[in-house]
Amino acid sequence: MAEKILEIKDLVVEYHTDAAIVHAVSGVNLSVIKGETLGLVGETGAGKTTIARSILRILPTPPAKFRSGEIIFGGEELTTKTEVEMRKIRGNRIAMIFQDPMTALNPIETVGWQIAEAISLHNEVRRDEAEKRAMDMLEMVGIPMERFMEYPHQFSGGMKQRVVIAMALACNPELLLADEPTTALDVTIQAQVLKMMQDLKDRLNMSVILITHDLGVVATSCQSVAVIYAGEIVEYGTVEHIFDHPAHPYTNGLFGSLPRLKTTERRLKPIKGLMPDPTKMPEGCRYAERCPDATEECSAKPPDVAEVTPGHQVKCIKAGR
Amino acid sequence: MLRYIVKRLLLFIPIILGISFIVLILIDITPGDPVAIMAGWDAKPEVIAQVAADLRLDRPIVVRYFEFVTNALKGDFGKSFRNKRPVMTDILSRFPYTALLAFVSVVLSVLIGLPLGIYAATHQYSWKDNTAIFATLILVSMPSFWLALLLVRVFSLGLGITPVSGIQKWTSWILPMFSLAVGYAASIARQARSNMLQVIREDYIVTARAKGQSERVVIYRHALKNACIPLIMTIGSLFGMALGGALVTEQIFSIPGLGQYTITGLINVDYPAIQGSVLFMSIISCSIILLIDIAFAFIDPRIRSQYIRKKVKAIQVGGEGA
Ligand SMILES: Nc1ncnc2c1ncn2[C@@H]1O[C@H](COP(=O)(O)OP(=O)(O)OP(=O)(O)O)[C@@H](O)[C@H]1O
Ligand SMILES: [Mg+2]
């Protein structure tokens, strides 16, 4: 069995706002194999960013509330670590790329300073050494190092995302959390950035959690896939499992009701209806309301997770039968 | 940048022209005739004409305006009707007191308000924050003259710690400065708090945390510097307010500053004194606004590059021509 770099067990995260409790993540189990890329796919509001932030423990608290769960990284439990211990992991062993490159950089510091900051935080190096390495990082993501002293507003969106990636990779992390690294970018630049990330991943031998809406990206860069719906993982398996034998009605819905992924189907297809209100999650299956195959039994109690083939898990009462 | 500053300084000229015009008109239409006051209510017409000629008020307002403006641009505000001394001399001898009062009050208010605002913002949702908000709300709504009288009642008349008025001892400055600073500190604290709360939610703050940066650096380097940008504006306008607020404060505490001079001028219908001090204050305010803009450029690279980019463009255009 391949070595797991990260294992999440029964993660529950809520947001306590004035009005209500948002059930953002409800009992998620995941693992990432060393050197592999896990794709996290789901609609907006499904809880993808919340999962990624929970791993680094950078949820906005309040309103976020970590209810329960274990996060085991390289054999160590992260949820019980002190803040000081976590700081040594953040940016160093686990790094994150954020959804929106436009706002992810501090507008009044130079990009060079921001990359060097990450380097000098985790390495015993002098200032000039950190800056030298920051320049190397810029070159690595394809930005001339002369631009070291420039500010974020002098960069285009794609270049900003490169800077964010350079920053994330500056300390050779073992695990990279890439939260929709290309969603905010132009289609042409998306491909470039993804290609670059793929190359860097291979070179640095990282494990990656790739959050995305783009099924094409999942098919080309991921080994495993977790489909997440309303804070729960509804289907989980290898790329072959998910793409060739999708078993959950929601996954089928994503592929446009086709049992197999046709090459024309690159993006998530909108499914009729809306995700349930995260403050009032239904008793039974959370997808029942939109599910074409739903029966009364579905709304009565939450379905168990069934393993249809080894390593291919589906949270649907139909799947086990 | 330098070119920009020179350009802004040249803009002072139309500002001086405009403000002088408004002030002259306003003075002219306010009741109270300096000629009648100086000549006496039962003076003969010849005497009145003589006094008007002495005060140079016998000519139409347009002529007086041009005379005032040309002299003002040379730094001459005319002579006071009352003590016959050049207004500029009096203003320059009195302004340091006003400037000291305003400057120390504002510095004091930043020293109190900024830490308080940061503290409140970093303790959001706790009773500490709620207490801070409530206290600053009361202090912001308290008029400074009222606070001044209250402070005098307690510290000067009650406890006898500080003098009631004057500037003979350094302790005399404590009450006037605090009476101005308290309200300003409260408004700085409120703004610092809301700016911080906004900035702390920004993505780049999460980025800094995700790098493994300590909470102290995240707050004091990443967040505070960004939160300070809009604060510069507030602090600058507080300076303007402090100069104006000195009008009342100087009166209460008998401080021989520019505010007191202006009020005495108003009471005596001393046209040159009023015109001179209002114009002087306007120029000071314009200078403060210019300083704010320079400070903005200094701290915010997005604004700074607006000045630099023009230069680069100019070079490019020049290059194309060659
Ligand atoms: N700070 C917050 N306060 C309250 N609710 C929040 C907060 N952040 C997220 N949520 C809620 O938690 C749920 C999950 O949000 P999350 O950001 O994890 O979704 P996501 O899958 O990343 O979506 P997207 O694809 O749009 O990025 C949503 O219902 C969202 O409204
Ligand atoms: Mg998200």
For A94-150, the three-class secondary structure string (H helix, E strand, C coil) is EEEECCCHHHHCCCCCCHHHHHHHHHHHHCCCCHHHHHHHHHHHHHHCCCCHHHHHC
- Tell me the mean pLDDT in the region B238-265: 86
Most confident of the following: B31-45, B135-149, B210-224: B210-224
The backbone torsions φ and ψ at residue A175, rounded to the nearest 5 degrees and listed phi first, read -130, 130
Residue of B nearest to A86 (CA): B212
- Mean residue pLDDT of chain A comes to 86
Ligand at shortest distance from the CA of A226: 1
Taking only the tens place, the pLDDT of each residue in B194-218 is 999 999 889 999 999 999 999 889 9
Q: Examine the predicted complex and report whether its ipTM is higher than 0.90.
A: no
What per-residue confidence (pLDDT) applies to A257?
43
Give the per-residue pLDDT at B113. Answer: 93
pLDDT at B319: 39
pLDDT at B321 over 60: no
Q: Spell out which residues of chain B touch residue A174, defining contact as CB-CB under 8 Å.
A: none
Question: Which of A66-75, A253-262, B41-50, B54-63 has the lowest average pLDDT?
Answer: A253-262
Q: Which residues surround ligand 2, an ion (CB under 5 A)?
A: A 49
pLDDT-derived band of residue A18, with 50, 70 and 90 as boundaries?
Answer: confident
B209 to chain A: which residues are within 8 Å by CB?
A: 58, 90
User: What confidence score (pLDDT) does residue A113 get?
Assistant: 93
Q: Are B180 and B242 a contacting pair, CB within 8 Å?
A: yes
* CB contacts < 8 A (A, B): 78
Quote the ligand 1 centre to A24 CA distance (angstroms).
7
The rounded Å distance from CA B306 to ligand 1 centre is: 36
Facing A122 at nearest CB: one of B201, B212, B229: B212
Q: Which of A53, A88, A100 sits opposite B212 (nearest CB)?
A: A88
pLDDT of residue A303: 85
A153 close contact with B: CB closer than 8 A? yes
Long-range contacts: A279-288, Cβ < 8 Å, 24+?
A279/A19, A279/A20, A279/A21, A279/A22, A279/A23, A280/A20, A281/A23, A281/A26, A281/A230, A281/A231, A285/A315, A285/A316, A285/A317, A286/A229, A286/A230, A286/A231, A286/A232, A287/A229, A287/A230, A287/A234, A287/A248, A287/A249, A287/A250
Q: Which residues of chain A neighbour B211 with C-beta distances below 8 Å?
A: 90-91, 95, 117-118, 121, 167
Q: pLDDT digits over B156-207, tens only?
A: 788 877 787 777 778 778 888 888 899 899 999 999 999 999 998 899 999 9
- B299 to chain A, any CB pair closer than 8 A? The answer is yes
A160-169 pLDDT tens trace: 988 998 899 8
pLDDT tens track for A183-192: 777 777 778 7
Model pLDDT, residue B195: 93
- Ranking A169-183, B185-199, B302-316 by mean pLDDT, the lowest is B302-316
- Band of residue A267 on the pLDDT scale cut at 50, 70, 90: low
pLDDT at A40: 94
Summarize the confidence of residues A250-264 as an average pLDDT: 63
Question: What's the pLDDT score for residue A269?
Answer: 58
Say yes or no: A178 contacts chain B, CB-CB below 8 A.
no
Contact B200, B121 (CB under 8 A): yes
Q: How far apart are CA A43 and CA A257, in angstroms?
A: 16
